A and B are shown apart, each in its own frame.
Chain A
């Protein structure tokens, strides 16, 4: 299992002090969080992509490239990369370049975005959200697998004799996740390509995501990538911890009550019951996270949202330390003990994708030789 942090990169006023960080501070804080994630023994840092205030991460590969240079083994990912409004050619180029610089530590998550005006700002129509995600990703998929692409679609200029450069590191395209909160089409898309499916289930109830992930697993098997329980599933989570759970609740409540998205709505208690949010002791976080496996089956990646709603950087770094020291080691052991041998322990990595590619080449060669011998 891979554990990590994902961030939306919001600039939010700390409701307890009234202080709002500058964009510069927030960007540096995101980097500090990524470095802390590696230091604390976590596996993944993933950044969101937004093109409007109060969010800063408009240029994920720039940020991830910088973090790549300052880390050794952290997997650098996104949550999400906008497959709807970005040019798939530029995504192919940017992430291939990042993968070279990061020495194979990059994967990425496709998403459609959640801010209506971003579509027209980038010359698109929100009503085409799903068709854009499908067409653009299909092109991206080809650009990483075919050296020369001739292509014509609905949403961008046709390509004749186009080669996306640099070519993927070691000829192995980065692993791709597809994130969706509600669209069965996206679960179907992930299943079709044998890609990963990420359910950011932090805002919505479990039974909804059971249906979405159930659909993805069933269709993954249907498309011949393996059995349903071998499909690559990632989940979101949201936690706030203190040694004593009452302290955690007391400290987190003002951030919860004023948070973007759900602030001034449900009570902390209601939201904790309805969504994966866990506010309490490290042991409570462990217990709650283990229930995710009961709900969704053995899965490969768990990302936690730790840094939103105006929480100060110092607090976030403490949280990541607790995650790394007290929570993740136990979860690793527990999840690993429960996992059947035929289910992948982690999402595919660059190394495993390269090995799989080499095996496939060898098998093809062996088959051809056998054909000659006959």
Chain B
């Protein structure tokens, strides 16, 4: 079974960010075919716990489960509204709770929403550097949806969603099942730590 994690940083209910996230998940699942489990994390549900984690250094309760769902999935879809020219603070706070290396090599599909298409480059100028730092494998196609896209008759948005979903599916298919060594299960033997000196 393939697992897809979806992170949506939308604040409204309903939220166009969530709308886009669901469409991207559907597109990727269709392209993957077979058995796909989608786990969606609405960051708003974890808002308090996320700030707590920033202060205490550990994610607690349901937020911990959400982080584990994201770091343990085969692929990730991350969608944020654009606020003041960048991803929202909530979105960044979530990814600040991700341990370095936990998304390494992971196929990630980036999405963003905004009032007008003038914000669309936030994906490439704000989200991409963040996921580059996390050493995730961001798909070449990012999907931006402006308000007007939801009422548009042309196929530009659906086409982008389909292309991006296909890219994510191909990256997941082409990626060997990640089995990162667990340092608590298999520690580096002390003799090696000592002779590295």
Residues of A within 8 A of B (CB): 130-131, 134-135, 138, 153-154, 184-185, 187-189, 191-192, 203-205, 208, 211-212, 214-215, 219, 223, 261-266, 270-271, 273-274
Contacts and interface: CB of A to CB of B under 8 A. Distances in A.
A134 B188 contact: no
B197 A131 contact: yes
Interface string B182-197: 0111011110011011
A12 B64 CA distance: 31
The DSSP consensus for interface residues of chain A is: helix
Contacts of B51: 265
Given A203-B56, A212-B184, A266-B60, 19 more contacts: A131-B196, A131-B197, A134-B194, A135-B197, A138-B194, A154-B197, A184-B188, A185-B187, A188-B193, A205-B58, A205-B64, A215-B184, A219-B187, A223-B190, A264-B55, A265-B56, A270-B61, A273-B61, A274-B60
Given A219-B187, A262-B55, A205 B60 contact: yes
A189 B190 contact: yes
Given A214-B184, A215-B184, A215-B187, A185 B193 contact: yes
Nearest to A188: B187
A192 B187 CA distance: 12
A141 to B, nearest CB: 11
Nearest to A138: B194
A204 B58 contact: yes
A236 B120 CA distance: 50
Most B-side CB within 10 Å, residue of A203, A214, A270: A270
B185 to A, nearest CB: 8
Contacts of B54: 265
Contact of A191 (B57, B61, B188, B190): B190
Given A134-B193, A134-B197, A185-B193, A262 B187 contact: no
Interface in B116-167: none
B52 A266 contact: yes
A257 to B, nearest CB: 12
A191 B189 CA distance: 10
Contact of A184 (B56, B64, B187, B196): B187
B58 A192 contact: no
Contact of A188 (B60, B61, B188): B188
A135 B194 CA distance: 7
Contact of B184 (A130, A211, A262, A265): A211
Most A-side CB within 10 Å, residue of B64, B185, B197: B197
A115 B56 CA distance: 15
Interface in B20-75: 51-52, 54-58, 60-61, 64
B66 to A, nearest CB: 15
18 contacts: A131-B197, A135-B197, A185-B188, A187-B187, A191-B190, A192-B190, A204-B58, A205-B58, A208-B58, A215-B184, A215-B185, A262-B55, A263-B55, A265-B52, A265-B55, A265-B56, A266-B55, A270-B61
B184 A153 contact: no
